């Protein structure tokens, strides 16, 4: 048994409970005696055990909060501090310069940094944090102008999904009057930017192009609607002030508009692209190379947290909302967070509808970093000019593999399976998995996305750059 026991150095345990460590070690040894040789503990001790991770105050940071609060990080001998960041740029810079060991990131951030759009750095992700979770909200005045254009159900409530086609007459009126129609999103390479642009373009509203090769990073060339950056927690106040007429953001900031009576969420991203990938856990590539055991252990803890969030038909969500409502995490009222986190979503005040998959953390292989997810984000960067020139399909595949790291994820998952904490059936079949999802069809514009054919996908859009076109 002594060979299976992990050596415990009392001198290196200033923050640990020695008795607890002994109990854990003995328990592990007893468990290992029932397992095949070499089936577990393939991952060694963490090379770095005191870590700081960053996040933005959004409900989809939940896997980090739960991994800490439920002790999953500590189970991996990791002692983690979670620190809210002022905005996405500050967060990314923290990971790049090493002030943060990892962070809750926009899926586009590791990709953009690696290809050199904005700050250049090789950021990778071994873990996808969630599916869905965003919405588009408009001000009460814009909703009043949109509403007559929207078909109604027998009970008088709007037919969903609400397409941007019903916003277009309002935007056209603004243009005729010479007034800019302004909307907010959280960051130029955010899911929110691409989802808002996707929704607008599907309704015939041009969201504008970027031209970084000309020094133009505003993204408003040829725009019918002018999109600009606003940090998520500031969205409701910016809308209320009349600075913007609508926005795309994650929760709880759409539901906050309902509670404050200042706006109406018109659509969720689940309705724009069913089960779309949202945030990722981003890390500097150099960190994963210097601390490979630590990296795998981080992913193990977060996989367990994601499963806890979704297990038994979301039964743990009310407890999760209690954690998230704490000021050190999201800090919004319990009722505001619960409005979307527990399987419902309120659109117009009083129009609460069941959206059980508004937040998905583990179901549908949500945590697996699919190459095809990365390719989709890259296609949208190209569509709107952040990638200025044509790239062959092989380039998209290569960039996806540089940033998304399913190999690290698979190692963590296999460890959890060997330890009896997870079942193989809860993960993709790693022996057969290619990293590309089957062609996806459930988009609001009915266009099919095949991650292995990015240029063909770009050709299918009426609005957007494609082929050799360059601004």
Ranges of residues in the chain whose predicted pLDDT is under 50 = 1-40
Strand partners, 449: 440
pTM for this entry? 0.91
Return all residues near 31 (Cβ < 8 A) that are at least 6 apart: 40, 419, 420
- Residue 239 structural domain: 37-471
% of the chain surpassing 70 pLDDT:
91
245 & 381 share domain: yes
Q: Tell me, what's the pLDDT at 407?
A: 98
**Other residues' Cβ atoms within 10 Å of the Cβ of residue 72:** 24
99 & 248 share domain: yes
| Pairing mode, strands 263-268 and 134-139 | antiparallel
125 & 2 share domain: no
What's the angle, vertex CA 100, arms to CA 97 and CA 104, rounded to 5?
120
Q: Tell me, what's the pLDDT at 61?
A: 98
Calculate the alpha carbon distances from 291 to 51, 287, 367, 452 in Å.
11, 6, 21, 32
Q: Tell me, what's the pLDDT at 42?
A: 80
25 & 74 share domain: no
Count of domains forming the chain:
2
Q: Tell me, what's the pLDDT at 444?
A: 98
189 & 77 share domain: yes
The enclosing domain of 269 has a CATH number of 3.40.190.10
What's the angle, vertex CA 462, arms to CA 371 and CA 133, rounded to 5?
45
Instruction: Write out the chain in H/E/C secondary structure.
Output: CCCCCCCCCHHHCCCCCHHHHHHHHHHHHHHHCCCCCCCCCCCCCCCCCEEEEEECCCHHHHHHHHHHHCCHHHHCCCEEEEEECCCHHHHHHHHHHCCCCEEEEECHHHHHHHHCCCCCCCEEEEEECCEECEEEEEEHHHHHHHHHHCCECCCCCECCCCCHHHCHHHHHHHHHCCCCEEEEECCCCCHHHHHHHHHHHHCCCCCCEEEHHHCEEEEEECCCEEEEECCHHHHHHHHHCCCCCEEEEECCHHHHHHHHCCEEEEEEHHHHECCCECEEEEEEHHHHHHCHHHHHHHHHHHHHHHHHHHHHHHCCHHHHHHHHCCCCCCCCCHHHHHHHHCCEEECCCCCEEECCCCEECCHHHCCCCCHHHHHHHHHHHHHCCCCCCCCCHHHHHHHHHHHECHHHHHHHHHHHHHCCCCCHHHCCCCCCCCCCCCCECCECCCCCECCCCHHHHHHCCCCCCCCCCCC
8 & 86 share domain: no
43 & 146 share domain: yes
196 & 159 share domain: yes
C-beta of residue 302 within 8 angstroms of C-beta of residue 367: yes
28 & 148 share domain: no
29 & 53 share domain: no
Q: Tell me, what's the pLDDT at 300?
A: 98
81 & 28 share domain: no
44 & 18 share domain: no
């Amino acid at each position: 048994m002594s060979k299976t026991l992990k050596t415990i150095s009392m001198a290196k345990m200033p923050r640990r409970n020695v008795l607890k460590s002994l109990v854990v070690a003995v328990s592990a040894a007893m468990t290992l005696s029932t397992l095949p040789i070499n089936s577990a503990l393939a991952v060694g001790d963490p090379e770095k055990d005191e870590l700081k991770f960053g996040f933005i105050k959004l409900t989809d940071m939940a896997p980090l909060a739960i991994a800490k609060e439920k002790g999953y990080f500590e189970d991996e001998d990791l002692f983690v501090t979670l620190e809210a960041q002022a905005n996405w740029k500050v967060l990314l810079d923290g990971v790049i310069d090493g002030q943060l060991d990892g962070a809750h990131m926009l899926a586009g951030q590791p990709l953009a940094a690696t290809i050199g759009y904005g700050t250049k750095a090789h950021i990778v992700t071994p873990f996808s944090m969630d599916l869905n979770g965003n919405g588009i909200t408009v001000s009460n005045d814009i909703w009043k102008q949109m509403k007559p254009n929207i078909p109604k159900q027998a009970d008088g409530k709007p037919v969903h999904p609400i397409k941007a086609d019903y916003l277009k007459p309002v935007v056209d009126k603004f243009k005729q009057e010479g007034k800019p129609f302004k909307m907010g999103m959280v960051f130029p390479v955010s899911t929110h930017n691409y989802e808002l642009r996707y929704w607008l373009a599907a309704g015939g509203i041009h969201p504008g192009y970027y031209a970084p090769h000309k020094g133009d990073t505003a993204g408003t060339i040829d725009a019918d609607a002018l999109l600009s950056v606003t940090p998520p927690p500031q969205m409701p106040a910016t809308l209320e002030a009349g600075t913007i007429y609508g926005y795309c953001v994650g929760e709880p900031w759409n539901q906050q508009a309902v509670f404050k009576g200042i706006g109406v969420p018109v659509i969720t991203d689940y309705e724009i692209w069913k089960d779309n990938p949202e945030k990722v856990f981003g890390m500097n590539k150099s960190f994963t190379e210097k601390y490979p055991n630590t990296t795998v252990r981080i992913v193990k803890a977060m996989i367990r947290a994601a499963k806890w969030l979704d297990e038994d038909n979301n039964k743990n969500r009310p407890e999760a909302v209690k954690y998230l409502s704490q000021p050190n995490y999201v800090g919004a009222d319990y009722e505001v967070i619960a409005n979307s986190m527990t399987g419902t979503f309120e659109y117009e005040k009083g129009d609460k509808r069941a959206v059980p998959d508004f937040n998905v953390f583990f179901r549908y292989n949500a945590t697996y970093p699919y190459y095809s997810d990365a390719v989709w984000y890259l296609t949208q960067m190209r569509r709107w000019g952040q990638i200025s020139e044509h790239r062959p399909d092989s380039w998209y595949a290569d960039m996806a593999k540089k940033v998304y790291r399913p190999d690290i994820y698979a190692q963590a998952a296999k460890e959890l399976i060997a330890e009896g904490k997870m079942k193989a059936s809860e993960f993709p079949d790693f022996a057969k998995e290619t990293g590309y999802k089957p062609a996806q069809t459930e988009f609001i514009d009915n266009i099919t996305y095949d991650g292995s054919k990015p240029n063909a996908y770009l050709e299918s859009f009426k609005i957007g750059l494609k082929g050799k076109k360059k601004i």
